[in-house]
Amino acid sequence: MTHPELRPRPPSPLVEAADERFGAHGVRLLLKRDDLVHPELPGNKWRKLAPNLRAAMETGHDRLATFGGAYSNHLRATAAAGRLLGLETVGIVRGDELAGRPLNDSLARCAADGMRLHFVTRSEYRRKAEPRTLARLLASAGATGAYVVPEGGSNALALTGCAELGRELRGMSEVVAVACGTGGTLAGLAAGLAPGQRALGVPVLAGGFLGAEIRSLQTLAFGGPAGDWTLAEGFDHGGYARIPPALDAFAADFESRHGVPVERIYVAKLLWALHALTASAAFPPGTTLTAVITGAP
């Protein structure tokens, strides 16, 4: 992407986080500060959106339509990108019951950046991948003919952007861990890593559905499986956007120890999982572990 407002700053910094909770088990912790790659489109949002934005502009589209829940970081990033590029944006939001309520901080930020929000029923939203349902949703949102970016920004183009993240980390550690929503970042990251490195995904939603999604995305993007990846389930803390007091306290403590802002919905769950896995001896002594900081608070 050559537009001056969207010029990224990769590669993002890789810094060591000296932490006795990891060091006591012989594990070295590194932080890939992808939250610093762009001031308004941090981390995986930049990496997934940039190829799609390029494709939209090259095909003459002046309007983007995408999907997300009430706390979607992807919606926020798409709205910001639209403002910076002068593109109209439409956000199709899960939950028609939200239409008559005051906007939360996340959706208010989308609206302030010019995104037109269209609320739909949860049953319709679940069927958005069906061609007829998608066409109906776009029509009802006044977005027929828009360039469509899928929920979370995860598609074959997005994976090419996330593979670059993996290439930036080649040879830096044995395990590279990232929080997962739709699985696109992990799918691309794994493809970009070198042989002998493993990508570890920490799902922030329960359900056990991500494995199939990641395999499907890799087939679309690369023609088949790519790289070594695994999932660490059970660290969703009750579901997406659920931040129990213990998780919030853990994140605040990590911020105090390391001076790194910890986004609560994704990054806090990632770091909590890595701490718990390290304490349970999931990583052999001598392991260098990289946590990808995908977003800012």
- Identify the residue whose tokens are 């911020």: 255
- The CB density around residue 296, as the number of other CB atoms within 10 Å, is 17
Known catalytic membership, residue 173: no
Contact 44, 50 (CB under 8 A): no
User: Could you tell me the end-to-end alpha-carbon distance of the chain, in angstroms, rounded to an integer?
Assistant: 25
3-state secondary structure 211-254: HHHHHHHHHHHHCCCCCCEEECCCCCCCCCCCCCHHHHHHHHHH
- Quote the tokens at residue 93: 């939001």
Out of 72, 106, 154, 173, which one is annotated catalytic? 72
Q: Which residues make Cβ contacts (< 8 Å) with residue 116, sequence separation at least 6?
A: 88, 89, 90, 91, 141, 142
Contact 275, 254 (CB under 8 A): no
Residues β-bridged to residue 180: 203
- Peptide bond before 11: cis, by omega within 30 degrees of 0? yes
Residues annotated as catalytic (active site), given as ranges: 72
